[in-house]
Structure 1
Amino acid sequence: MSEKALDRFDWLILEAVQENGRLSLADLSDRVGLSKTPCQMRLKRLEREGYITGYHARLNTRKVRQNYVVFIEVKLESTSRRHLDDFNRVVKKNDAIQSCHMLAGGFDYLLKVRCRNMEEYRSILTDFINDLPGVRQTSSFPVMEEVKRISSVNLKNNFHYKD
């Protein structure tokens, strides 16, 4: 089944649910200018086609005691397919690693670790990260202050229409 090209209403739905995933169908319909049935059909299609991959609550990291963040550069012994696959497979299993990006440049991966404090971070680094397959070197960068954190994607340039 081929995906249908997104139109103005689809983009408006994506923008609205990204901002507030708890909008009622009535509120979503009003916001995008469609009646409930076509709005619901479009929303279900966007979910089915993978444009919407889930709905999440944004937690206060300080209140849930997960406000200590460290970025870690990781250099592997080798970037052979086997080393990369082994590293990727194991890193996905640790929930303290909030994100893992393979990069081109002076190091191979950039990890974002979120935990309670320096003591917990030290344990994660020494007991897990340094034991990951193929890790040759790590450099850690503790975050002093989070200036901006968003999880949304800028959709404004994806649709052009006149109000």
Structure 2
Amino acid sequence: MSTEELDSVDRKILAELTGNARIPVTELARKVGLSKTPVAARLKALEESGVITGYRASLSPIKLGLTHVSFVEVRLSDTRQKALEEFNAAVRRVSEIEECYMIAGGFDYLIKVRSRDMTHYRQIMADVISALPYMASTSTYVAMEAVVEASALTP
């Protein structure tokens, strides 16, 4: 199922689930204007097609004391496929790395790191990020304020 195949009801279902993934199917059906059975069928189709990839709790990084956000430009010493695969696998194991993107440009990856404070970030950088495979160099940018930050897409 692609975004072109989503109709207005599917989009309403996704919008409601984005706001509250724990909404009962009966309430979801009422909100989108259908009965329970067709909504349940649509949910199943959205899940099977991969539009809905899962359900999870959204945690507040602030309430968890993770108020410091840094973005790290990473340059690798080797960008052959095997090196990229090893780097990707290693990054996925680091809990402090909230997001990581391979970049087409003047560096290889952009990593978002969430930590308690600058001291904690320096420890993560020294002990974890600098030890990632094929690491050549990094540049860090500290976020002063989140202007727009979202953990989920809205349909």
Give the whole-Å Cα distance in 2 for the aligned partners of 1:124 and 1:151. 22
Q: Secondary structure at the match of 1:106?
A: coil
Superposed displacement of residue 102, structure 1: 0.1
State the Cα deviation string for residues 7-65 of structure 1 (Å, max 9, x = none). 33222211221122122212210111110111111112212222111223332222211
Indicate whether 1:29 and 2:29 are aligned.
yes
* 1:79 equivalent in structure 2: 79
Give the whole-Å Cα distance in 1 for the aligned partners of 2:61 and 2:79. 34
Q: Which runs of 4+ in 1 moved over 6 A?
A: none
State the Cα deviation string for residues 71-125 of structure 1 (Å, max 9, x = none). 0000011211121111111111111001110000010000001111111111111
Task: Please report the RMSD computed on the Cα atoms of aligned residues, expressed in angstroms.
Answer: 1.6
- The aligned runs of 1:40-119 (5 Å cut-off) are 40-119=40-119
Indicate whether 1:127 and 2:110 are aligned.
no
Deviates most, 142-151 or 31-40: 142-151
> Percentage identity across aligned positions?
43
Letter in 1 for 2:54: G
**Where does structure 2 lack aligned partners over 5 or more consecutive residues?**
none
Give the whole-Å Cα distance in 2 for the aligned partners of 1:62 and 1:29. 34
Letter in 2 for 1:92: R
* 1:160 equivalent in structure 2: none
**Where does structure 1 lack aligned partners over 5 or more consecutive residues?**
156-163
Letter in 1 for 2:93: K
TM-score, scaled relative to structure 1 = 0.86
Give the whole-Å Cα distance in 2 for the aligned partners of 1:121 and 1:138. 14
Give the whole-Å Cα distance in 2 for the aligned partners of 1:68 and 1:15. 30
Letter in 1 for 2:41: M
Letter in 1 for 2:16: A
Q: Is the 8 A contact 2:75 2:138 kept in 1?
A: yes
Q: Is the 8 A contact 1:73 1:111 kept in 2?
A: yes
Give the whole-Å Cα distance in 2 for the aligned partners of 1:144 and 1:11. 34
* 2:39 equivalent in structure 1: 39
Give the whole-Å Cα distance in 2 for the aligned partners of 1:27 and 1:67. 35
Q: Is the 8 A contact 1:67 1:116 kept in 2?
A: yes
How many equivalent pairs are there? 153
- Shift in CA distance, 62/7, structure 1 to aligned 2, threshold 3 Å: closer
Q: Is the 8 A contact 2:75 2:108 kept in 1?
A: yes
Give the whole-Å Cα distance in 2 for the aligned partners of 1:107 and 1:64. 31
